[in-house]
Structure 1
Amino acid sequence: MSNKIIPLQPGDIIYSSKSFSTFLVGHCSIVGHDNKIYHSHPKGAFADTLKQYISRHPYGGRLTLIRPLRGGEESASWAQGNIKHVTRYSFHPHLNNIQMNYCSKFVWQAYWFSLE
């Protein structure tokens, strides 16, 4: 496997493997138009630079970039516009509830609502 540097694009999904840094469950996020990484986290909702995001993984693990074939631009816009609405990290099952959120739900919502 390669550790090649790949430039980020709006709508890219970053998956963090299961490790002590992710409390053994993994984590995911979405890249915005400003190259910030948007994600819902137990400590809040964040728009991190790549350096900040990497610093959240001090105990190892692997970051995997997933580049969707379509919808990235729109999903990135949705994530940037809605991160401010996330108020609580919660496994709330309804997609229409942005306030109570978690990492994979936020990424799912970005694609679901931007491709309607």
Structure 2
Amino acid sequence: MSIELNPAAVQFAKRLIEEGKLKNDEGHWGQHNPKPNAENQFLNQHEIAEYGQWHLGLDMSKGEDTKGRYHFPYGDFETVHRDGLLAAKERAAQQGYSDIEKAANQLLQELEEKAAK
């Protein structure tokens, strides 16, 4: 499995941060990460491409219309979460996806700067 950076997700997250749609939370991502039923509900109301914008990684070996294609979530389908970006950064580093790790780190810095204003 080779996961690539999802540039559309990075741009989407940047826009959300600029718009102030963020949570500078310090909890554990497991508390905020959407559960499978929330993901399915989102997909019932939105296109898979919109779902993909909430994930920093793409598994190109999976079909475009499958949830399995998308990895490294960072938000709850409404806001970007600080702890989501931290989790994505840490997991990407552990798994050797340096481009995803760098993107998550950059987004994290942007979120923290915006939250400090």
Flag whether TM exceeds 0.5 (same fold): no
Normalised by the shorter chain, which TM-score bucket?
under 0.3
TM-score calculated relative to the size of structure 1 = 0.24
With a CA cutoff of 8 Å and minimum separation of 6, indicate the structure with the bigger relative contact order: 2
TM-score calculated relative to the size of structure 2 = 0.23
| Greater fraction helix | 2
